[in-house]
Amino acid sequence: MKKTFLKVENVVKSFPIAGGLFGGEVASVKAVQDVSFELKKGETLGLVGESGCGKSTLGRCLIRLIEPTSGKITFQDEDITHVSGHRLRELRRKMQIIFQDPYASLNPRMTISAIIEEPLIIHNLFDSNGDRRNRVLQIAEMVGLRADQLTRYPHEFSGGQRQRVGIARALAVEPELIVCDEPVSALDVSIQAQVINLLMELQQKLGLTYVFIAHDLKVVEHVSNRVAVMYLGKIVELASSEELYVHPLHPYAKALLSAIPVPDPNSKDQRIILTGDVPSPMNPPSGCHFHPRCPQAVDACKVQVPTLEIKRENHIVSCLQVSPENSR
Ligand SMILES: Nc1ncnc2c1ncn2[C@@H]1O[C@H](COP(=O)(O)OP(=O)(O)OP(=O)(O)O)[C@@H](O)[C@H]1O
Ligand code: SF4
Ligand SMILES: [Mg+2]
């Protein structure tokens, strides 16, 4: 039977807010609400949405850096929702994360070589120091770092090179699933494509599976097989890349897409400007969370909670106003 690579079922993550006289829980931030999807081996799922919509929290739940409040996560046919101790450490090897700001995530007092070697030591992957060093050299070469650069420190590198170090460190332990948490957002546009191309090359070579997080739909377009759009902790639209960029159906996804500059100045596509800020996930709006900002909202949207439904082939959307097979 074919293995389930990653299955996410109704995952919820709330952060309690302590306060009051006795420091008890006075409220909670509902960072991720009832998220479900499946990921096949070798696939890339793009995860997009504005700041604070829960992308990083979901990414961290998937690889069990944090424990979901409820729901279920299955990785390679194993329920990993609540694993801990030794088993969790073993899993960590298979599931890695690449962070947005490589500078903040690299120890400034360690050489590049030591940074890449550290996870190999933690996971006790090599008996001999020589073999371990060889692995560091091999992985450095794979991400485009030269051997003579390995004795240097992070501050001596450019942003793009530092991100190569972050990638090397994540890949050193031969993971299978990688959460790329805005890996190019802090980089110059000219460097972004290089890092994205490197990640795609490595995926081909090593058969990696990615969850690729970004604010910007443009960034994930070429990397992703499928894209999920999040709003206030929920996935509101999920489709294959080709489908989503041509037929966005959710008003929020349409607005995000319309913000991408088009090369054709005669294009009739109207830019949709969203008014208002993203509401607080401590106290989300009633009905459809998007209703206070939605250009297509009707009265029912204030009370009725939409659920994800199939609207076109390989295309699910959570909106009361989108009927099946209704394209834009
Ligand atoms: N440890 C925590 N304790 C309390 N609240 C948290 C914690 N981590 C995240 N949050 C809150 O959960 C919500 C989702 O945060 P998250 O970092 O997942 O969003 P994001 O989509 O990754 O945002 P960004 O694009 O800014 O990185 C936010 O309201 C955030 O303030
Ligand atoms: S359910 Fe209503 S408010 Fe929500 S996205 Fe659809 S039209 Fe807009
Ligand atoms: Mg984030």
Question: Within 10 A of 141 (CB to CB), how many other CB atoms are there?
Answer: 12
Write out the residues surrounding ion ligand 3, Cβ under 5 A: 56
Q: Which two tokens stand for residue 292?
A: 């206070």
pLDDT at 186: 87
Q: What are the tens digits of pLDDT across the range 157-194?
A: 999 999 999 999 999 999 999 999 999 988 988 899 99
Q: Give the position, in ligand 1's atom list, of the atom nearest the Cα of 281.
A: 29
Query: In whole angstroms, what is the distance from residue 154 CA to residue 115 CA?
Result: 9
Kindly report the protein residue whose alpha carbon is nearest to atom 3 of ligand 2: 291
Q: What are the tens digits of pLDDT across the range 93-121?
A: 999 999 987 778 889 999 999 999 999 99
* C-alpha closest to that of 131 among 120, 141, 115, 142: 120
Q: What are the tens digits of pLDDT across the range 183-222?
A: 998 898 889 999 999 999 999 999 999 999 998 888 898 8
Percent of the chain with pLDDT over 90: 76
Residues 6+ away with beta carbon under 8 Å from 254:
248, 272, 328
- Out of 11, 15, 69, 220, mutate this one to test ligand 1's pocket (max ligand atoms within 8 Å of CB): namely 15
How would residue 328 be classed by pLDDT, with cut points 50, 70 and 90?
A: very low
Query: In whole angstroms, what is the distance from residue 46 CA to residue 229 CA?
Result: 8
* CA of 226 relative to ligand 1 center, distance in Å: 23
* CA of 302 relative to ligand 2 center, distance in Å: 9
Q: What are the tens digits of pLDDT across the range 33-70?
A: 999 999 999 999 999 999 999 999 999 999 999 999 99
Going from N- to C-terminal start, the domains of the chain cover 6-224, 249-328
Q: Which CATH architecture has domain 6-224?
A: 3-Layer(aba) Sandwich (3.40)
pLDDT at 52: 93
